[in-house]
Amino acid sequence: MPRERVVFHSGGLRLVGDLYLPIAEGPVPGVVVLHGLGSRKERHEDFGVLAAQHGLAALAFDMRGHGESEGQLDANAWQDVAAAVDLLAAQPEVASDCLAIRGSSLGGHYAIHAAALLPALRTCVAICPAPEWLMLEGASQVLEQGAPLPAELRADPHEFLRYLRGHDLAKAVAQIAPRALLLIHASGDDVVPAFVSQRLYEAAGEPKELWLLPDGSHTSAQHDPALNARLLAWLQRQFTP
């Protein structure tokens, strides 16, 4: 199936992504895919391929400071998400009024904030989303204790810390309604505790769903083929009149 390497810009930085397109007649719904901290677009190829097989376009890209994209993770990284949404909406194969966002860990964090700010997104999927307070702990360890950054991450800890101190995931999730929200979390997650998604679910408005998985880890929910197929079926229902 068609997969296209795309290059676009955000805040003067060059970003690189993979666009997965189904073989279909007419515009199809699209989903922006956001990776986690220290990850990259290739680790979500499985979801991009499966999305295209289910008739959806998918754009997975390297956020600043990751993979092939330029720059460092900083206070303005959320702009990369907005640029990716604009890019996907501009594709002739994509229905610009049928856009979703799917993010995991750090990507789940940005997915929620993006959905709160961008009305073009009709639905939001956050998998094991990382809250500010948890990432503040990690950024503080880097700055105060000299803890190393993940090997595949380029970041400005001071700027990222500034971003985290100025945002609140619980407030953002409440602003998504009346658009659909799906939270997915593995009960065995030892990186982001499952109660994070439970509290976000309580703070969110309708329509909303929480899939609390009985087992699994921080990354298993991102790559389980059966779960991703179930997720894609859920997304298709959101776009069905």
Q: Is residue 150 part of a domain?
A: yes
Could you list the residue range(s) of the whole structural domain that residue 106 is in? 3-233
66, 40 Cβ separation under 8 angstroms = yes
User: Which tens digits make up the pLDDT trace of 216-234?
Assistant: 889 888 999 999 999 999 9
User: Which tens digits make up the pLDDT trace of 94-139?
Assistant: 999 999 999 999 999 999 999 999 999 999 999 999 999 999 887 7
Reported confidence tier of residue 150, pLDDT bands at 50, 70, 90: confident
Q: Is residue 90 part of a domain?
A: yes
Q: Is residue 238 part of a domain?
A: no
Distance between CA atoms of residues 237 and 241, nearest Å: 8
Q: Is residue 189 part of a domain?
A: yes
Helix (H/G/I), strand (E/B), else coil: 182: strand
Residue 75 has pLDDT above 90, yes or no: yes
User: Which tens digits make up the pLDDT trace of 20-74?
Assistant: 999 988 899 999 999 999 999 999 999 999 999 999 999 999 999 999 999 999 9
The β-bridge relationship of strands 3-10 and 13-20 is antiparallel
Determine the pLDDT at residue 157: 86
Mean pLDDT of 157-179: 95
Reported confidence tier of residue 143, pLDDT bands at 50, 70, 90: low
Q: Is residue 63 part of a domain?
A: yes
Distance between CA atoms of residues 155 and 150, nearest Å: 10
Q: Is residue 206 part of a domain?
A: yes
Q: Is residue 240 part of a domain?
A: no
DSSP 38-77: T--GGGGHHHHHHHHHTT-EEEEEPPTTBTT--S-B-TTT
Q: Tally the domains of the chain.
A: 1
Q: What is the pTM of this model?
A: 0.95
What the block records as the tokens of 57 is: 């376009």
Q: Is residue 241 part of a domain?
A: no
Mean pLDDT of 184-196: 94
Determine the pLDDT at residue 145: 64
| CATH code of the domain covering residue 105 | 3.40.50.1820
Determine the pLDDT at residue 1: 61
